[in-house]
Amino acid sequence: MALRIAELETPEVLVDRDQLLRNLGRVQRIAAQHDVALRPHVKTHKCIEIARLQLEHGAVGLTASKVDEALVFIEQACGPSFTLAYPIVDPRKLQRAFASAGHQNVELRITVDSEAGIAAAEAAAKSCNKTVSAFVKIDVGLHRCGLVEDDPQVVRLVRLISSSSQLRFAGLLSHAGQAYTAPDIARIAEIAAEESAILQRVRSRLASAGFDVPEVSVGSTPTVLAGNSFEAVTEIRPGNYVFLDATAVRLGLASFEEVALSVVVTIISANSSYFIIDGGSKVLSSDLGAHGTGAGVGYGVALPIDVAGAEAAPLLVARLSEEHGFVERAGEDLAIGTKLRVIPNHACPVANLAERLTITSQGEMIDQWQVAARGKVR
């Protein structure tokens, strides 16, 4: 007999399979509607089974940040091609990636934003006797990695890549992660439009310098769900959309019912201000939201396990110790032993902290999937 959620030992990270499939379908439809390829980022789930579902739904390949994260999927022959959307500058890592991708016959595309990155890629490709496609990363406003649009280095890097016998220019790649700071959907749509406009200007500048831009790869869950500016874009790379989280709800991108990942916890104690739950920062992470953004209050919200989110008043997870969470009582009187479902601020680090995801359907556990690439941070 399948266990019901209420019967599980806690804390346990749950993924509602039916909602997961709806989330996959939602973004696959957006890709089809705008005629762009979908190459999801696996850093959100790090799970082979979910990557296979994404590919079955129509993803053209996968995206990863780190080499060792990608290798878990490449070695399981998960998808025909992979983009490393992260500037890797250590040739040993790239060598490892190129060798494994070659062995599995997987196309590997890399990302650079410096001459050092190009030199590392050339050295690694030469040692593996490979030709590798390289994207140049453009900073569209997050101000993390990438070159700003009018930096003369953009044309210089494309020229260097194009003149290398080991490298091929794949195109431009960007991530508008600043969308997580937007106050509302309208601002997210503007950020997506700004990203598209920046990339079109860079493409024109490169055309004037004699370079064709084969692909333009963008992607963040907010800009994919709320944006409608896909001019010049050939590919989207969202990650978080598979699960969504309290941040997506705060931004107006989803309702609590549309969040596929939650953590079932038990109230193990209580005081005059808080219910104390058995999930702390080692389960929920201390993340305030993607890129450290957030509402500035709390670490997620707690809902009853068997009441649809919209009907239940969410209780704030106000503080965390390592192994305890502090849930605001807000006038509620819940018994010790009551189970709650916490929707975390940021689903991606929560999956990375879990050994496995417990897959549920209609309130019952139906499977458990390993988080195969958890902790793969090199």
Looking at residue 178, the DSSP 8-state letter turns out to be G
Looking at residue 298, the DSSP 8-state letter turns out to be -
Query: How many beta carbons lie within 10 A of that of residue 287, not counting itself?
Result: 22
Exposure on the CB side of residue 301, measured as CA atoms within 13 A: 20
Find the binder of ligand PLP among 79, 91, 171, 238 (CB under 6 A).
238
Closest distance between ligand PLP and the C-beta of residue 69, in Å? 12
Find the binder of ligand PLP among 39, 41, 130, 203 (CB under 6 A).
41
CA–CA separation, 33 and 21 (whole Å): 18
Q: How far is CA 190 from the centre of its chain?
A: 21
Selected range binding ligand PLP among 87-95, 236-244, 273-281, 352-360, rule: CB under 6 A? 236-244
Shorter beta-carbon distance to ligand PLP: residue 30 or 85: 85
Q: What is the 3-state secondary structure (H, E, C) of 211-246?
A: CCCCEEEECCHHHHHHCCCCCCCCEECCCHHHCCCH
247 binds ligand PLP (CB under 6 A): no
31 binds ligand PLP (CB under 6 A): no
Selected range binding ligand PLP among 217-225, 297-305, 306-314, 331-339, rule: CB under 6 A? 217-225
Q: How far is CA 244 from the centre of its chain?
A: 9
Closest distance between ligand PLP and the C-beta of residue 215, in Å? 14
Amino acid at 280: G
Selected range binding ligand PLP among 90-98, 148-156, 232-240, 359-367, rule: CB under 6 A? 232-240
Helical residues (DSSP H) of the chain, grouped into ranges: 17-33, 48-57, 67-75, 91-104, 115-128, 153-162, 185-208, 221-226, 246-250, 281-284, 347-353
Closest distance between ligand PLP and the C-beta of residue 226, in Å? 11
221 binds ligand PLP (CB under 6 A): yes
Closest distance between ligand PLP and the C-beta of residue 44, in Å? 6
Find the binder of ligand PLP among 19, 100, 200, 240 (CB under 6 A).
240
Find the binder of ligand PLP among 28, 100, 178, 220 (CB under 6 A).
220
Q: Which two tokens stand for residue 211?
A: 């370079």
Shorter beta-carbon distance to ligand PLP: residue 85 or 216: 85
Closest distance between ligand PLP and the C-beta of residue 89, in Å? 16
Amino acid at 20: L
293 binds ligand PLP (CB under 6 A): no
Find the binder of ligand PLP among 30, 78, 85, 189 (CB under 6 A).
85
Q: Is residue 344 within 8 Å of 245, Cβ to Cβ?
A: yes
At residue 3, the 3 state secondary structure works out as: coil
285: left (phi over 0), alpha (psi -120 to 50) or beta: left
Q: Which two tokens stand for residue 303?
A: 């809902």
Binding mask 168-187 for ligand PLP (x = CB under 6 A): -------x-x----------
CA–CA separation, 25 and 355 (whole Å): 26
- Give the binding-site size for ligand PLP (rule: CB under 6 A): 14
Closest distance between ligand PLP and the C-beta of residue 268, in Å? 32
Looking at residue 143, the DSSP 8-state letter turns out to be -
Find the binder of ligand PLP among 216, 283, 290, 316 (CB under 6 A).
290
Q: Which residues would be at the binding site for ligand PLP (CB under 6 A)?
A: 41, 44, 85, 175, 177, 219-221, 237-241, 290
